[in-house]
């Protein structure tokens, strides 16, 4: 008898930590951007390095690409929409 594999998809709105190795000059440039952003920010507007990287990477996704990815990653459009509502 064949074993049925679960078709459950992970929650695309969940978060996952990853480790990324970057050249020191990029790390310093990102840290500088965070410091500049936070210089004039109120306590509610403080940005972390994680926030900055998240926003920079999200900026690389176009609406057309999200629509294209929807075929391979069902639910990505909804997850992006949710993310946009949450950062508002």
pLDDT < 70: residue spans in the chain: 1-9, 88
Residue 28: domain span: 24-39+46-87
Residue 17 located in a structural domain: no
Q: Percentage of the chain with pLDDT > 90?
A: 78
Q: Are 69 and 5 in contact (CB under 8 A)?
A: no
Residue 69 located in a structural domain: yes
Residue 1 located in a structural domain: no
**Domain total in the chain:** 1
pTM: 0.75
Residue 18 located in a structural domain: no
**Share of the chain residues as helix, strand and coil, in percent rounded to the nearest 5:** 60, 0, 40
Residue 6 located in a structural domain: no
pLDDT of res. 4? 54
Q: Are 29 and 44 in contact (CB under 8 A)?
A: no
- 45-70 residue pLDDT tens: 899 999 999 999 999 999 999 999 99
Residue 10 located in a structural domain: no
């Amino acid at each position: 008898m064949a074993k049925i594999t679960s078709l459950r998809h992970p929650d695309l709105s969940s978060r996952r930590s990853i480790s990324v190795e970057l050249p020191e000059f990029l790390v310093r440039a990102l840290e500088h951007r965070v410091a500049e952003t936070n210089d004039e920010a109120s306590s509610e507007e403080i940005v972390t390095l994680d926030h900055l990287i998240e926003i920079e990477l999200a900026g690389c996704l176009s609406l057309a690409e999200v629509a294209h990815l929807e075929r391979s990653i069902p639910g990505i459009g909804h997850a992006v929409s949710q993310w946009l509502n949450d950062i508002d």
